């Protein structure tokens, strides 16, 4: 009897705290969504909290009507796809070679890869390197340098080592399959969930990456969406903002900023259900050290 | 017969470095080495070549001169750095912001995970997890955009509430001390939900018989949390704590850069943003590189030390 009451109280407290935590994590989204759908006047007079006031799609039509914004989004999609394909190619090659037993020099290669996880040249040497490689202000500067992720490689290598049965490999060898044949016929088909997870890791990482574009790209037509959004929000000179965002010296009004943030967030929200599912399994695999 | 011969050969090969054996193994695994070529080129070009570039911290590097041609200047730049107040300021800011993250941001996912674990209603647990993970998938540019709207003194939700309750608007992101608090809270908002995953996984690993035995002994739910759940995830907590301690010198660039602004520079300027400004905007390559090198080396040493202690604590290292 007593414990039952205590249990009830305990439940109430737990649900209360969790509901609070959930509200805290979604209210910022609701607020900015409400602002993006409200009139500028309603926002400026502090009327907009969680629901749109004077509902209007004007801010969105201005964001989508802006050619540079849409171009930037398409460019980012293109970059993300290219980056993910390249990243997966490099990761598969490296993880497979480093997971084969008895490969001479394997430890050295592995160490070379792992070391880069803990030590790197830092911002300036990387910048100079991009300059020397003539990648500065090209789209390649945000595709090539980060394409090989040691972290993802380790996850895939662990997966190859632990999840592909040796017997399958042996029988393929007897059938006269070489290393690459075994990779294509056995390892890749068996690793599809892991490959999907890692592709998402790469794609989301690239979609959200910002600083490399900030460092390496000054050409406006090459801005990926995050950089575009950053300049828009911070309105570093009117030329960086939307063509239609207002007079030259004016900051983009909060409704336009809100709509732009939503514009860049919506693609992530659309793929979010898949993201969540695969990321959680991926992070759990990654936590198991190889 | 054949087998024993083969194993004898293997033993021989292991005894010492055998050129013939090496050559034949290279021949056998030729296709594997082929697979290594392209990734290794990437690794060399985009990771190791920039490490060579670190030597400009000891050189008077002024383009178009190449790094190799530039004259050596020894530790001059480091002397300048260690005498500049600016350096100590960004070092202090880096340590303070990371330290606060560690104190407040570290326990948050543990508490959240324990609470989530107590939920028996499946749909509620799943839905809360989905919503709590969401902020983690957004870029810092987007988060900063959202938070500047949320916390704006003129139009933000929080200040609308405060003024409606009769208070005066708080400049959350434009007043120096408030900014540090906001920076900290936003960090928790972004990562606490996601951080629960690893603890929830650890909790699943706890033997359920322990809970059953506790019930027989008449333990309530709080007691079960305190005596079973928490000790059960202790190794995970310690391992993550050590790893995070090792990262106290590290600084992400995106978060302080996107959340910072001119008004709060005194508290928001960390090593990474300082390096960016000195290097890429003021074009003081060697100074910025030297500061970055200092951070990399200290950070690396700290990771090694924390890894050592992690292993010593029996939690397994990261190497």
Say if residue A112's pLDDT is above 70.
yes
Phi, psi of B72 (to 5 degrees): -70, 145
- State whether the Cα torsion A189-A194-A197-A200 is positive or negative: negative
Q: Tell me which of A80-84, A110-114, A193-197, B142-146 is least confident.
A: A193-197
3-state secondary structure B140-173: HHHHHHHHHHHHCCCCCHHHHHHHHCCCCCCCCC
CB neighbours of A151 closer than 8 A, spacing ≥ 6?
Answer: A117, A286
Check: CB of residue A194 under 8 Å from CB of residue A156.
yes
pLDDT at B157: 96
The alpha carbon of residue B158 is apart from the nearest alpha carbon of chain A, in Å, by: 9
pLDDT at B12: 45
Confidence of residue A242 (pLDDT cuts 50, 70, 90): low
Reported ipTM:
0.90
CB contact under 8 A, B285 and A124: yes
Higher pLDDT, A241 or A224: A224
Give the span between the Cα atoms of A71 and A64, in whole angstroms.
10
Partner-chain residue, chosen from A14, A89, A133, that has the shortest CB–CB distance to B119:
A14
The alpha carbon of residue B290 is apart from the nearest alpha carbon of chain A, in Å, by: 9
Confidence of residue B46 (pLDDT cuts 50, 70, 90): very high
Instruction: Give the residues across from B59 on adjacent strands.
Output: B72
| Chain B, window 70-99: residues with a beta carbon less than 8 angstroms from a chain A beta carbon | none
Residue B268, chain A, CB below 8 Å: the answer is no
Mean pLDDT of B253-270: 95
pLDDT at B58: 96
Check: CB of residue B172 under 8 Å from CB of residue B182.
yes
Q: For a pLDDT cut of 90, what percent of chain A falls above it?
A: 64
Partner-chain residue, chosen from B137, B141, B201, that has the shortest CB–CB distance to A284:
B201
Angle between helices B122-133 and A254-287 in degrees, nearest 10: 120
Global pTM reads 0.89
Estimate to the nearest angstrom the gap between the alpha carbon of B41 and the chain centroid: 26
pLDDT digits (tens, 9 = 90+) for B77-130: 999 999 999 999 999 999 999 999 999 999 999 999 999 999 999 999 999 999
Q: Tell me which of A69-78, A235-244, B135-144, B270-279 is least confident.
A: A235-244
pLDDT at B36: 96
Of A189, A195, A200, A199, nearest in space to A164 by CA: A189
Give the span between the Cα atoms of B288 and A122, in whole angstroms.
9
CB neighbours of A42 closer than 8 A, spacing ≥ 6?
Answer: A48, A53, A54
A125 vs B contacts (CB less than 8 Å): 50-54, 56, 289, 292
pLDDT at B29: 83
Confidence of residue A285 (pLDDT cuts 50, 70, 90): low
Q: A231 to chain B: nearest residue by CA?
A: B141
Tokens of B208: 């359920």
Confidence of residue A165 (pLDDT cuts 50, 70, 90): confident
Tokens of A212: 């490399």
A128 vs B contacts (CB less than 8 Å): 50, 53, 56, 63, 67, 285
pLDDT at A240: 45
pLDDT at B7: 45
pLDDT at B246: 84
CB contact under 8 A, B43 and A210: no
Say if residue B171's pLDDT is above 60.
yes
Residue B65, chain A, CB below 8 Å: the answer is no
Report which listed range, B22-36, B174-188, B242-256, is most confident.
B174-188
In the numeric block, the tokens 């028996």 are attached to B120
Mean pLDDT of A101-126: 92
Residue burial B44-76, b: 16+ Cβ < 10 Å; e: rest: ebbbbbbbebbbbbbbebeeeeebeebeeeeee
Say if residue A288's pLDDT is above 90.
no
pLDDT digits (tens, 9 = 90+) for A8-63: 899 999 999 999 999 999 999 999 999 999 999 999 999 999 999 999 999 999 99
Mean pLDDT of B2-15: 45
Higher pLDDT, A264 or B219: A264
For chain A, which residues make up each domain, given as ranges? 2-44, 58-287
At the top level of CATH, the class of B77-312 is: mainly alpha
Q: What's the topology of domain A58-287?
A: MetI-like fold (1.10.3720)
Partner-chain residue, chosen from B38, B132, B148, that has the shortest CB–CB distance to A93:
B38
3-state DSSP: chain A helix, strand, coil percent, rounded to 5? 75, 0, 25
The alpha carbon of residue A238 is apart from the nearest alpha carbon of chain B, in Å, by: 18
Q: Decide: residue A5, CB within 10 A, 0-12 exposed, 13-18 middle, 19+ buried.
A: exposed
The alpha carbon of residue A120 is apart from the nearest alpha carbon of chain B, in Å, by: 6
Sequence-ordered alpha helix ranges (H) in chain B: 2-15, 19-28, 30-43, 49-52, 76-82, 85-100, 107-118, 122-133, 140-151, 157-164, 176-204, 208-216, 221-224, 230-246, 254-259, 265-268, 271-276, 285-312
CB contact under 8 A, A127 and B279: yes
Mean pLDDT of A170-197: 88
> SS3 for A253?
coil
> SS3 for A190?
helix
Give the span between the Cα atoms of B307 and B240, in whole angstroms.
11
Q: B143 to chain A: nearest residue by CA?
A: A261
Mean pLDDT of B253-274: 95
For chain B, which residues make up each domain, given as ranges? 2-58, 77-312
Give the span between the Cα atoms of B188 and B103, in whole angstroms.
11
B112 vs A contacts (CB less than 8 Å): 18, 21
């Amino acid at each position: 009897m007593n414990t039952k009451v205590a249990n009830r109280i305990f439940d109430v407290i737990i649900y209360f705290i969790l509901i609070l935590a959930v509200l805290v994590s979604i209210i910022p989204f609701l607020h900015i969504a409400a602002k993006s759908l409200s009139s500028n006047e309603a926002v400026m007079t502090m009327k907009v909290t969680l629901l749109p006031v004077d509902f209007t799609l004007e801010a969105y039509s201005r964001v989508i009507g802006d050619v540079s914004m849409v171009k930037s989004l398409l460019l980012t999609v293109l970059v993300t796809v290219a980056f993910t394909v390249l990243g997966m190619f490099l990761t598969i090659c490296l993880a497979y070679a480093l997971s084969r037993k008895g490969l001479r020099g394997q430890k050295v290669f592995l160490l070379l890869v792992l070391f880069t996880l803990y030590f790197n040249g830092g911002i300036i040497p990387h910048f100079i390197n991009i300059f020397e490689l003539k990648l500065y202000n090209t789209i390649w500067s945000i595709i090539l340098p980060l394409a090989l992720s040691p972290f993802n490689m380790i996850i895939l290598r662990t997966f190859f080592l632990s999840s592909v049965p040796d017997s399958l490999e042996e029988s393929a060898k007897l059938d006269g399959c070489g290393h690459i044949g075994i990779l294509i016929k056995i390892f890749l088909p068996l690793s599809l969930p892991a490959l999907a997870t890692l592709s998402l890791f790469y794609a989301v990482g690239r979609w959200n990456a910002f600083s490399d574009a900030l460092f390496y790209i000054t050409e406006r037509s090459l801005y990926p969406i995050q950089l575009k959004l950053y300049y828009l929000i911070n309105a570093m000179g009117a030329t960086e903002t939307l063509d239609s965002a207002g007079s030259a010296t004016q900051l983009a009004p909060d409704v336009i900023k809100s709509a732009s943030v939503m514009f860049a967030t919506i693609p992530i929200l659309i793929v979010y259900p898949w993201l969540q599912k695969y990321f959680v399994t991926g992070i759990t695999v990654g936590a198991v050290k190889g | 017969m054949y087998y024993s011969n083969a194993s004898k050969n293997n033993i021989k090969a292991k005894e010492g470095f055998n050129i013939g054996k090496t050559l034949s193994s290279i021949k056998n695994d030729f296709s594997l080495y082929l697979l290594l070529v392209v990734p290794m080129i990437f690794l060399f070009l985009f990771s190791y070549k920039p490490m060579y570039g670190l030597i400009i911290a000891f050189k008077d590097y002024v383009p178009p001169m190449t790094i190799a041609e530039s004259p050596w200047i020894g530790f001059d730049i480091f002397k300048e750095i260690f005498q500049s107040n600016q350096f100590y300021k960004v070092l202090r800011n880096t340590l303070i912001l990371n330290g606060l993250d560690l104190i407040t941001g570290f326990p948050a996912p543990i508490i959240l995970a324990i609470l989530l674990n107590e939920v028996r209603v499946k749909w509620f647990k799943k839905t809360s997890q989905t919503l709590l993970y969401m902020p983690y998938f957004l870029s810092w540019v987007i988060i900063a955009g959202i938070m500047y709207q949320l916390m704006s003194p003129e139009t933000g939700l929080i200040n609308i509430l405060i003024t409606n309750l009769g208070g005066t608007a708080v400049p959350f992101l434009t007043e120096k001390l408030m900014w540090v608090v906001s920076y900290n809270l936003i960090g928790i908002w972004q990562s606490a939900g996601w951080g629960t995953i690893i603890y929830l996984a650890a909790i699943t690993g706890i033997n359920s018989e322990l809970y059953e035995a506790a019930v027989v002994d008449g333990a309530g739910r709080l007691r079960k949390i305190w005596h079973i759940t928490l000790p059960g995830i202790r190794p995970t907590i310690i391992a993550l704590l050590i790893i995070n301690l090792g990262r106290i010198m590290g600084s992400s660039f995106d978060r302080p850069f996107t959340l910072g602004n001119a008004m709060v520079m005194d508290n928001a300027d960390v090593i990474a943003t300082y390096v960016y400004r000195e290097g890429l905007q003021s074009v003081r390559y060697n100074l910025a590189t030297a500061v970055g090198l200092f951070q990399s080396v200290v950070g690396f040493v700290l990771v090694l030390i924390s890894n050592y202690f992690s292993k010593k604590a029996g939690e397994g290292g990261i190497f």
